[in-house]
Structure 1
């Protein structure tokens, strides 16, 4: 399989790119602790999810990510046809995921976010920096999928309609601003000498502090969302999860999420996207900023 047509320090095949996407999802789900979410300690507030199920789901998407990269590489730049082919392949990947999980939605949001990023990355007129990549992904998200057939409304879609929040689609259409929030916090915490675990928890909290997370809204309404955002920001304000004060504030956040039976699933999906982009930067696939 040929290498991607980008200025890599080390050539990366489409299959290699898919491996990085799967690895990012595995690293996200294994990150511990995460408030209300599946992690190494257990299933959080989710009765239908386990760590093993989430890992199996991530592994099942390897072929989907490979096909997404191959399709994007056929195009000079982002365009309507690419948008619709990515959507078609994403729906096939969703079908595989649901078959593998017995109908449980484990990674629908991650397929959406990573699919757009892979599409925006692998076009022949490739982006040079992370903002360029997010611009490409946003341009794809803003294009209509003329072949999408509306089916059963998801929990996130219901929350968007009921509460008027933007959700995953608006986040993508705005060039994923919370992915930038997460990456900036990840690098800020690393620079401050935090452990990699603490830096990644901080990245998750930075996303959660500003994201209109429909997973939280569905379970606990706007009050729950606002409370989570405030508490996530409080952890960061006192120094982050790697500090004693930050861990005390984090414990309050986690207890409150358990009480509200809520978890920031949308933020977790975007953390996976952050870890994917971070792996691309580390390997010299793309620059952080110009």
Structure 2
């Protein structure tokens, strides 16, 4: 089976992908072990090598690709379709595409084994309806939709991020965190990503204030990267997925050592800066 979720409205395409993965997990594999995320291996050779191969540990698998169909020739498309038919639903190939391939490519796929979800850019009324739905999912008032659309025209990704931030902080888009809290979060982000600004941010920070947040974010990063993100807020998940965490294992252990040092009165206050 081949399932195609395509833009140009990429937010809705991604939303459908998540919905399909959740449905598969609930029906076939609550553990999620048979779901393979192969976004960085989106090649015809890779998928052909997996289709039709028996798995001793899973009777069915879901193979998630990204832009798998981009650039395929008609001959390659026929080969992929033949492999999907021969596979007999042992594997579900789910690909998220920036846009649907042209008709001369799509015509080679079997209608019985290919399912297409295409999302065009939304009209004004449909956009508002989608934003209202996002607000309600996050237990925010529907009246916020017009304000968000005015701030982020035709950008569901930015609107969704703003909604997640509002649900965490309680602040509306034109409000900001207090400087001290904003600096704390920025410093933690810089530490995780090993940015040059980190030393400046650390000066004047209270170790007892920054270390719990550092450890929390480090542990959340590990959870998200290993697909065990239950209890981590969706906005935080998205943020951490896009965080290039330098030396994650070393840093997590180091943060814990620093916390132990501060709690054991071995170090405190600004003295913790060299340890971090």
TM-score bin (small chain): under 0.3
- Structure in which a larger fraction of residues adopt strand: 2
The structure with the greater share of residues assigned to helix is: 1
Question: TM-score, normalized by length of structure 2?
Answer: 0.22
Structure exhibiting the larger radius of gyration computed from Cα positions: 2
> Larger RCO: Structure 1 or Structure 2 (Cα < 8 Å, ≥ 6 residues apart)?
1
